[in-house]
Amino acid sequence: MPSEPSVEIRGLTRRFGEVAAVDGVSLDIRRGEFFSLLGPSGCGKTTLLRMIGGFELPTEGSIRINGADMTRVPPYRRPVNMVFQSYALFPHLTVEENVAFGLRYKGVPRGDEGKRVADSLALVQLSGFEKRHPHQLSGGQRQRVALARALALEPEVLLLDEPLGALDQKLRKEVQVQLKHLQRSLGITFIFVTHDQEEALTMSDRVAVMNRGRVEQMDDAARVFERPATEFVANFMGASNFFAARVREAINGQVALELKAGGEVRLSSAEGGPFRAGEDVRFVVRPEKLDLRGRDLSAHGVPSLAVTIEDKVYQGISTVWIVRDGADERFVVYEQNEKPFEEGSRFAVGGRAFLCFNPRHAVVVRPGGAEGS
């Protein structure tokens, strides 16, 4: 990864009256990376993006793009371009005119405009659509025109505000892969806003998970998924299995936890430390990392929790089990459907089983901000 940041955000705050939509955010976005701002609606991700684009002015803080201060520079003088959620194509202009719209302001000679437009449209596979008007295009085609229009200006940073939100599921998946591919081949920094964690994981190099105007966790996409730092992030990434425990001892990063529901878990390396003996903590294990067994495996060093099967949902690729422990805590287990359907399942609803997991998959999370999503 190149070292100098493409976008540096320091202490950025935007208040609307009493409410801080973005609250003291600091981020470094690296050159050429695919960076996602992920969070539920109202978390401030779009406001943050709009401040980078220059459509909102921050109440406090600064934004530097390629080393130059851009905090109060109007949008038309920033080396960034945006793909709007609604695409914002100009309905009175053709595809070609839409894509060519900004070229004259970037000092592209008139003679080169045609080539730039053709190249951009080829990039998004829309050659041949030059003379159409936006209303004559499908949603996916419009989205690509919006992309071509922004890319034609060869921006240093491309901002994308939930650009796939209006597309159907199947098309979305295709476009995700195409976008990622495009970003890699062009080497432009992409800042992508989405509320869809799967979308963020599919495309991003790094992800910042936002909640209530703040960044809860910023990390590589896989780490955000596998090692959530807070309860909110864990919840948002769909790892809603929380285990209450007490720290028995903590030596050299090794932590021994005593489960409230009984049993002991030893974590070899735990984030969120340091821990004190006697402290109450919560840790999380992702649903696909949990396992249902017919017998107690604690004697073999595998944490096992006696649970009652509450529900079972068949989902084709996997089966979702909903179980409850003695303390009435609810857990979700994903099981891959590997066996033939006819063999039936091992457990019946209402029956008893043991919830097992590998301690390596347990992640201690900080409390707070644990909003459902």
Partner 1 sequence: MKARPPRSERTGYFLALPTWLTLGLFFLLPLTILFVISFGQRATYGGLKPIGDLWVYLASGKFLANYARSLHPIYLQIFWRSVWMAVVTTVVCLVVSFPVAYYIAVAAAPRRRNLLLGLVVVPFWTSFLIRTYAWMFILRTEGLVNRFLMAAGLTHGPLELLYNNFAVLIGLIYGELPFMILPLYASLEKLDLSLLEASADLGAPRSSTLWRITVPMTMPGIVAGVILVFVPSLGQFIVSDLLGGAKTILAGNLIQNQFAVARNKPFGSAVAFELTAAVLALLFAYALYTKRKGQDVLL
88 binds partner 1 (CB under 8 A): yes
Q: Which of 149, 206, 212, 227 binds partner 1 (CB under 8 A)?
A: 149
Cis, bond preceding 274 (omega within 30 deg of 0): yes
Element spanning 119, H or E: helix 110-123
Q: 55 vs 334, which CB is nearer to partner 1?
A: 55
Angle between helix axes 110-123 and 139-151 (nearest 10 degrees) is 140
132 binds partner 1 (CB under 8 A): no
39 binds partner 1 (CB under 8 A): no
Please, which of residues 172-231 interact with partner 1 by CB under 8 A?
Answer: none
Rounded to a whole number of angstroms, the minimum distance from the CB of residue 353 to partner 1 is: 53
Closest C-alpha to 203, from 218, 181, 186, 231: 181
CB atoms closer than 10 angstroms to residue 361: 17
Rounded to a whole number of angstroms, the minimum distance from the CB of residue 106 to partner 1 is: 6
Q: Amino acid identity, residue 83?
A: V
Find the part of the chain contacting partner 1 (CB under 8 A) among 149-157, 175-183, 191-199, 334-342.
149-157
Q: 57 vs 277, which CB is nearer to partner 1?
A: 57
Q: 49 vs 207, which CB is nearer to partner 1?
A: 49
Query: How are strands ordered across the β-sheet holding 80-83?
Result: 80-83, 157-161, 189-194, 34-38, 206-211, 214-220
Coil/strand/helix, residue 63: strand
Structure tokens at 97: 């005119």
102 binds partner 1 (CB under 8 A): yes
171 binds partner 1 (CB under 8 A): no
Rounded to a whole number of angstroms, the minimum distance from the CB of residue 163 to partner 1 is: 13
Cα separation, 84 vs 218, whole angstroms: 24
> How many residues lie near partner 1 (CB under 8 A)?
24
Q: 54 vs 303, which CB is nearer to partner 1?
A: 54
Q: Residue 217 pairs with which residues in a beta bridge? A: 209
Interface with partner 1 (CB under 8 A): 53-55, 74-77, 80-82, 84, 86, 88-92, 101-102, 105-106, 149-150, 153
